[in-house]
Amino acid sequence: MTYQAFLIKYAEIGIKGKNRYMFEDTLVSRIAHALRPVEGQFEVYKSQGRIYVKALGPYDFDEAVDALQHVFGIAGICPLLQFPDQGFEDLCQRTVAYMGETYPDRRRTFKVMARRANKRYPLDSNEINSRVGEAVLEAFPEMRVDVHHPDVLLNIEVREQINVYSQVIPGAGGMPLGTNGRGMLLLSGGIDSPVAGYMVSRRGVWIDAVYFHAPPYTSERAKQKVVDLARIISRYTGPIRLHVVNFTDLQLHIYETCPHEELTILMRRYMMRIAQRLAEQNGCQALITGESIGQVASQTMQSLAATNDVCTLPVFRPLIAFDKQEIVDVAKRIGTFETSIQPFEDCCTIFVAKHPVTKPNLNVIRRSETHLTQADPLMEKALETVEVISVGE
Ligand code: ATP
Ligand code: MG
């Protein structure tokens, strides 16, 4: 069966009252944008509180569905049979043909669910239900009706056109990009931070990213891995400006000046300070990290508090209560896992102490920082020498 249209189901944006139009219009433009690289031509439009995608000629079905599955705000994608009203006989015939082609094995239970938006249509929904049901049973005696738990829910909508659909391909969920501001993601080459960025972005947030690079201790390949991860998530998040900060001098200064067991915490405080400055410069309203309680020494409750201490912007940690396996599952689903596990050095592990503090005392940490006399100018220098790499479109 070739489908010339899709009905787009959206969940949350349907309940936003007056803002609903804004959300719908944003979703329509995100869908049009996502379909641009797909072979074929499409029209995306709103009609009577629904969003439709219509192919204006031949197109690649799998590519189109794949593109739609990367658009936040879509709950489900329904391949749609759409035709003008040419009488009830015609509706029955087309629907029977649709059932035969869509479910060639026939061993299904079904239920017809008709909705009549056009009240002038001569049959009401109950009549449509029972007469179409009979026609399907007559054509395919192996099929059965089950009104409680049908395998196939056969939707028939009588609108300006007739819509017939029964398949719902899951969408990415969330809210359309651009409906909820912008955040600065601290993106390392690990498993967690790409997932964190994906999750916050899914709430309609545009993403900028910052990566702390420490050449020559971290290699070009480690940096390339972060660029690759940004590109993978950009299929969902839209374009990302990746800010690459040269962190080497600041890191060496901390290493040479402070007790080594405090190194990670101090480094993380400076990362947050720099990320926050970049966030402010780029119109971001929050920072985003991949931290999760207790995962490593720098993610105990006390360490998280010590890291948070230097931030005035809110810090979003969507993975805070996730188990590692749950994070891995999402990473695999969104396609970042294989890249994340490539073994390149990470600037947090290069100078890592054998016994890092797990319960840092904030006063002690703050006192250690007073010895870092060069930290401020080094931070300014790091900010002045940021390299910006744009990924995605
Ligand atoms: P990830 O898997 O995301 O690398 P992790 O388990 O290795 O996380 P940490 O190294 O403690 O944990 O980092 C915690 C968070 O700090 C990361 O999720 C990321 O948001 C941020 N982060 C760590 N290192 C860097 C870096 N080099 N550049 C940018 N952000 C970083
Ligand atoms: Mg890491």
Question: Is 176 within the bounds of a domain?
Answer: no
Whether 136 and 239 share a structural domain: no
Instruction: Round to whole Å and give the CA distance between 299 and 294.
Output: 5
Residue 345 CB partners (closer than 8 Å, separation 6+): 217, 218, 219, 222
Distance 371 CA to ligand 2 centre (A): 26
Binding site membership of 337 for ligand 1 (Cβ less than 6 Å): no
Ligand 2 midpoint to CA 364 (Å): 25
Q: Which of 148, 170, 192 is the last residue of a domain?
A: 170
Q: What is the CA radius of gyration of the chain?
A: 27
- Residues 109, 21: one domain? yes
User: Residues 126, 207: one domain?
Assistant: no
Structure confidence at residue 288 as a pLDDT band (50, 70, 90): very high
Q: C-alpha 216: how far from its chain's center? A: 33
Per-residue pLDDT at 136: 97
Residue ending a domain, choose from 170, 198, 227: 170
- Whether 200 and 146 map to the same domain: the answer is no
pLDDT classification of 16: cutoffs 50, 70, 90: low
Pocket flag, ligand 1, residue 157 (CB < 6 Å): no
Q: Which of 170, 193, 209 is the last residue of a domain?
A: 170
| Domain identity same for 112 and 254 | no
Distance 196 CA to ligand 1 centre (A): 10
Three-state secondary-structure class, residue 334: helix
Could you list the residue range(s) of the whole structural domain that residue 51 is in?
Answer: 5-170
Residue closest via CA to ligand 1's atom 31 equals 188
The ligand 1 atom nearest the CA atom of 347:
27
40 exposure class (CB count in 10 Å sphere: 0-12, 13-18, 19+) = middle
Question: How many CB atoms within 10 Å of residue 93?
Answer: 14
Per-residue pLDDT reduced to its tens digit, 129-170: 999 999 999 999 999 999 999 999 999 999 989 999 999 999
The answer to whether position 177 is within a domain reads: no
Q: How far is the CA of 346 from the centre of ligand 2 (A)?
A: 6
Summary mean pLDDT of the chain: 94
Instruction: Tell the residue nearest (CA) to atom 14 of ligand 1.
Output: 291
Give, for ligand 1, the residue of 184, 185, 186 to mutate: max count of ligand atoms closer than 8 Å to Cβ.
186
Residue 135 sits in the same domain as residue 239: no
Residue 195 pLDDT > 70, yes or no? yes
- At 68, which CATH number? 3.30.2130.30
Average the pLDDT over 53-71 and give the result: 97
Residue 363 and residue 216 share a domain: yes
pLDDT at 15: 60
Give dist(CA 160, CA 157) in Å, integer.
9
> Which tens digits make up the pLDDT trace of 336-367?
999 999 987 776 666 777 788 889 999 999 99
Sheet holding 206-213, edge to edge: 315-316, 286-288, 182-186, 206-213, 240-246, 387-391
Same domain, 264 and 370: yes
Residue whose CA is closest, atom 16 of ligand 1?
289
Dihedral class, residue 384 (left if φ above 0, else alpha if ψ from -120 to 50, else beta): alpha
DSSP H or E stretch at residue 295: none
Q: Is residue 145 part of a domain?
A: yes
Query: What's the rounded mean pLDDT across residues 294-317?
Result: 93
Q: Which of 184, 199, 348 to mutate to test the pocket of ligand 1 (most atoms within 8 A of CB)?
A: 348
User: Does residue 292 share a domain with residue 166?
Assistant: no
pLDDT of residue 22: 86
- One domain, residues 75 and 155: yes
Q: Based on the domain organization, do 245 and 343 belong to the same domain?
A: yes
* DSSP-assigned states of every residue in 303-318: HHHHHHTT--S-EE-T
Residue 387 pLDDT greater than 80, yes or no: yes
Instruction: Examine residue 270 and state whether it is found in any structural domain, yes or no.
Output: yes
Residue 287: which CATH number?
Answer: 3.40.50.620
pLDDT of residue 349: 65
Tens-digit pLDDT profile for residues 242-261: 999 999 999 999 999 999 99
Give the pLDDT band (50/70/90) at residue 393.
confident
Q: Is the CB of 246 under 6 A from ligand 1?
A: no
- Give the residue, out of 185, 191, 192, with the most ligand 1 atoms within 8 A of its beta carbon, to mutate for a pocket test: 192
Q: Does residue 175 lie in a domain region?
A: no
Task: Annotate 373-390 with b (16+ C-beta within 10 A) or e (fewer).
Answer: eebeebbeebeeebeebe
2 versus 69: the higher-pLDDT residue is 69
Pair (122, 197) in one structural domain: no
Q: How far apart are CA 144 and CA 135, in angstroms?
A: 12
**What is the band of 95 on the pLDDT scale with cuts at 50, 70, 90?**
very high
Percent of residues, the chain, with pLDDT higher than 70: 98
Q: Which atom of ligand 1 is nearest to the CA of 191?
A: 2
Write down the pTM of the prediction: 0.93
Whole-number Å distance, alpha carbon 224 to ligand 1 midpoint, is 16
Residue 315, beta-bridge partner list: 287
| 18 falls within a domain | yes
- Give residue 52 CA to ligand 2 midpoint distance, Å: 42
pLDDT at 118 over 90: no
Number of domains in the chain: 2
Q: What is the mean pLDDT of residues 329-341?
A: 97
Query: What is residue 345's predicted lDDT score, i.e. its pLDDT?
Result: 73
What separation in Å is there between the alpha carbon of 268 and the centre of ligand 1? 9
The mean per-residue pLDDT over the stretch 48-57 comes to 92
Answer whether residue 375 is part of any domain: yes
Give residues with Cβ within 8 angstroms of 163, minimum separation 6: 7, 80, 81, 82, 155, 156, 157
Residue 19 lies inside a defined structural domain of this protein: yes
Q: Which ligand lies nearest the alpha carbon of 292?
A: 1
Q: What is the pLDDT of residue 19?
A: 78
